[in-house]
């Protein structure tokens, strides 16, 4: 005679299966939270890297002209502002909109702003940390130039290297904040 499972055996089996399913579900949720945190951290790191690369690419063109280096390639230099000029089309002036670029940090908006020519600054990156953007400047001999205020024309003429630090802070999907920081230094090769 063949005998089936009793009601108690079925209930115990179902309880064990439900416990196993609950454990798998909790593990999947934890894994999904971890993936979301990694995605947010990766996005913050990539955003910071792109921002630094854009600034460095423009910094390397400071003072460029097909006819030779321009004397006023760095037009503003401060702890949270950097402005360059270049003569891209070789017409002898730096008045065309794409020939002057300014980067600055807007602490009230936690944003990196970029302005071309006389246009008003536009947001380039959001989610900068409280101290999200910092520029520092080095002379030809590697001596740091004073960086607590905007440099005057004489000090700007001594700049040969620009260091940039950009920090992004995004909301962590698990509740906190994720911070990513990138730094880079550019030699101003077109400054006489």
- Residue 83's pLDDT is 96
Q: What is the pLDDT of residues 79-89, one digit of tens each?
A: 999 999 999 88
Bridge-based pairing of strands 177-187 and 161-171 is antiparallel
**Residue 107 forms part of a structural domain:** yes
- Buried-state track 150-171, b at ≥16 Cβ within 10 A, e below 16: ebeeebbebbbbbbbbbbbbbe
Residue 2: band (very low, low, confident or very high) from pLDDT cuts 50, 70, 90: low
**Residue 21 forms part of a structural domain:** no
pLDDT value at 165 more than 80: yes
Residue ranges in 61-162 assigned as alpha helix (H): 153-157
Residue 76: band (very low, low, confident or very high) from pLDDT cuts 50, 70, 90: very high
Beta bridge partners of 183: 165
Residue 105 near residue 113 (C-beta atoms within 8 A): yes
Residue 99: band (very low, low, confident or very high) from pLDDT cuts 50, 70, 90: very high
Q: What is the pLDDT of residues 61-71, one digit of tens each?
A: 999 988 888 88
Tally of domains in the chain: 1
**Residue 8 forms part of a structural domain:** no
- Residue 183's pLDDT is 96
**Residue 2 forms part of a structural domain:** no
**Residue 20 forms part of a structural domain:** no
**30/185 Cα distance (integer angstroms):** 39
Residues in CB range of 41: below 8 A, 6 or more apart: 178, 180
CB atoms < 10 A from the CB of 176, how many? 9
pLDDT value at 49 more than 90: yes
**Residue 5 forms part of a structural domain:** no
Cα angle for residues 96, 189, 104 (degrees, 5° grid) = 55
Residue range(s) defining the domain that contains residue 74: 34-187
**Residue 10 forms part of a structural domain:** no
Mean pLDDT of the residues in the chain: 90
Q: What is the pLDDT of residues 107-131, one digit of tens each?
A: 999 999 999 999 999 999 999 998 8
Sheet holding 81-85, edge to edge: 74-77, 81-85, 100-106, 111-116, 122-125
């Amino acid at each position: 005679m063949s005998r089936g499972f009793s009601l108690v055996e079925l209930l115990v089996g179902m309880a064990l299966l439900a416990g196993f399913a609950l454990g798998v579900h909790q593990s999947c949720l934890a894994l999904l939270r971890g993936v979301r945190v990694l995605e947010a951290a990766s996005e913050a790191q990539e955003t910071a890297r792109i921002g630094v690369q854009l600034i460095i690419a423009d910094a390397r063109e400071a003072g460029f002209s097909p006819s030779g280096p321009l004397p006023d390639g760095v037009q503003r230099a401060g702890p949270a502002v950097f402005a360059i000029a270049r003569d891209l089309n070789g017409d002898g002036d730096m008045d065309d909109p794409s020939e002057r670029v300014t980067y600055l940090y807007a602490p009230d908006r936690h944003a990196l702003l970029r302005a071309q020519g006389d246009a008003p600054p536009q947001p380039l990156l959001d989610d900068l940390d409280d101290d999200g953007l910092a520029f520092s400047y080095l002379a030809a001999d590697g001596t740091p130039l004073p960086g607590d205020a905007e440099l005057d024309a004489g000090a700007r003429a001594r700049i040969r290297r620009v260091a940039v630090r950009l920090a992004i802070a995004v909301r962590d999907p698990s509740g906190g904040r994720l911070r990513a920081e990138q730094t880079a230094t550019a030699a101003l090769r077109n400054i006489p």
